Structure 1
């Protein structure tokens, strides 16, 4: 079965990485019919890189302001959907797909797929969760298992691994899924928009598969440690809380954000001080306003 594909790339002030990434897309066989690049109001030479790009099917969407990764993926997915492609492949500007990566994905007749990431040294670094626990109130971090820790290396993986959440960095979805559950939620800004989408997809009955032989290489090392007292810390707390309030499977799990917020405030003198305490208090307030689910259609 032959299906058309649209790649959605979100970028912000990483022109050199983007240039290499677009070159990688140019080496794909088969080639995608559409490449949507959402430029989140970059202030570096990203517009020059995009103007010089001769990639077939390129469509540039430049925003008036930075919508964050979540807003960018919402807009890019909407653009690809409106263009009529049958599969939409989401990725950041810092990855390089192997030439056959798209072909491996398209050969699998599944609605939700994930390419498997490795670092520049060829080591497995796929952090998509194989267990994302929204049932156990004692699980402080709901992601308790991931591909990287389950298997250790790509060679040790089976051909397909079922996932419970994804990253919008190699995730492919059929348009029928969007018609049923809607688009990525832009209100997250950064962090957890991909987790939210995966939870909605799985609750609608879709299974998500990571394909061992669909290789995606990260140009940068993984760094998931962020300053919880800084602006990213606010979004990490807020969005973690929102996922629990929206999808927690029992009252105790939905109570967990309040307990985490209380613990952070109590321990703040020994941790991030007033800044982190302020972040977690504001995050709790804001997360309460995100309890309503996003629209379940693209219309």
Structure 2
């Protein structure tokens, strides 16, 4: 498809959430300062970092920084909720969400701002230049037999960046390069802070798509991950609780039929039955707690609903 050209007068605020990764944050800020299209605002939410994050931020006089110092760790979901709300309240035309462990290539923001679409993502690569964009080309909330809703991804569909079309439609996003227009926030609301970590970005993408917005990965918007992907989290540890719970919430809220909405119960049962031969009692406790908590999260958190 021919890339639609956006209005050159649009403004953009970058929203960054950080927690105890001051050195990675410094690299990200260097990347933002080097953009060929400078951001109009950089809204940083610090999640009560205990390292030298404050010193890094206070030393930056080369960027239009607006820092929120949270007194507690709100997680990525809570931080992006605060940051997007601040960008919306300030009246910026677009908001660009970035994690603290990526660095945009110099032309990344310019490439995104040049596309006349409501929802976009920058396309990620690793430090070697290999394509590592994990956004789903298909996110299946219709098939009850699909254990994981994320099916094919950008990097499983295309061997490298050069093989991609200029725009590739995706069904879910990471808050690691996702851009939305103000009109999207007005219609679908804000990231849900109750997720804390994991699946807040996927849930937001489902809301946007259900409202009729298509999401496009922009081939020429290059975002470089500074760390390797580690998707194999310990499901018996504290992160496992959030991975299970928030995956269940996505199904309970957005499953397209009764069987899909019942799938979390089936997963819970299977994990408990198999716990003696896989994750043990800790994983079983996590999934039971996750199911109980997810039941109370069927509705979108009030603060995440569209602004009035």
Deviation string 1:121-169 (CA, Å, 9 cap, x unpaired) is: 0000000001000000000000011101011210111111001000000
TM-score (norm 1): 0.99
- Out of 98, 101, 115, the residue aligned to residue 105 of structure 2 is 98
Deviation at 1:285, TM superposition (A): 0.2
> Root-mean-square deviation (CA), in Å?
0.8
Superposition pairs of residues 12-161 of structure 1, within 5 angstroms = 12-161=19-168
**Does 1:278 find its partner at 2:285?**
yes
Deviation at 1:56, TM superposition (A): 2.5
User: For residue 223 of structure 2, what is the aligned residue in structure 1?
Assistant: 216
* SS of aligned partner of 2:63: coil
* SS of aligned partner of 1:143: coil
* SS of aligned partner of 1:179: helix
User: For residue 176 of structure 2, what is the aligned residue in structure 1?
Assistant: 169
User: For residue 298 of structure 1, what is the aligned residue in structure 2?
Assistant: 307
**Residues of 2 paired with 1:33 and 1:107: CA distance?**
15
Bigger mean CA offset, 48-57 vs 68-77: 48-57
- Out of 248, 269, 275, the residue aligned to residue 262 of structure 1 is 269
**Residues of 1 paired with 2:171 and 2:37: CA distance?**
28
**Residues of 2 paired with 1:53 and 1:270: CA distance?**
52
TM-score (norm 2): 0.96
**Residues of 2 paired with 1:79 and 1:183: CA distance?**
11
Contact kept, 8 Å, 1:72 with 1:186, in 2: the verdict is yes
Instruction: Show structure 1 runs of 4+ deviating over 4 A.
Output: none
Contact kept, 8 Å, 1:22 with 1:55, in 2: the verdict is no
**Residues of 2 paired with 1:212 and 1:47: CA distance?**
34
**Does 1:191 find its partner at 2:195?**
no
**Residues of 1 paired with 2:282 and 2:301: CA distance?**
30
User: For residue 294 of structure 2, what is the aligned residue in structure 1?
Assistant: 287
**Residues of 1 paired with 2:193 and 2:18: CA distance?**
15
**Residues of 2 paired with 1:56 and 1:131: CA distance?**
37
**Residues of 2 paired with 1:55 and 1:8: CA distance?**
16
- Out of 189, 199, 202, the residue aligned to residue 182 of structure 1 is 189
User: For residue 3 of structure 2, what is the aligned residue in structure 1?
Assistant: none
**Residues of 1 paired with 2:159 and 2:202: CA distance?**
22
* SS of aligned partner of 1:17: helix
Number of residue pairs matched by the alignment:
299
**Residues of 2 paired with 1:135 and 1:156: CA distance?**
29
* SS of aligned partner of 2:67: strand
* SS of aligned partner of 1:78: helix
Deviation at 1:233, TM superposition (A): 0.1
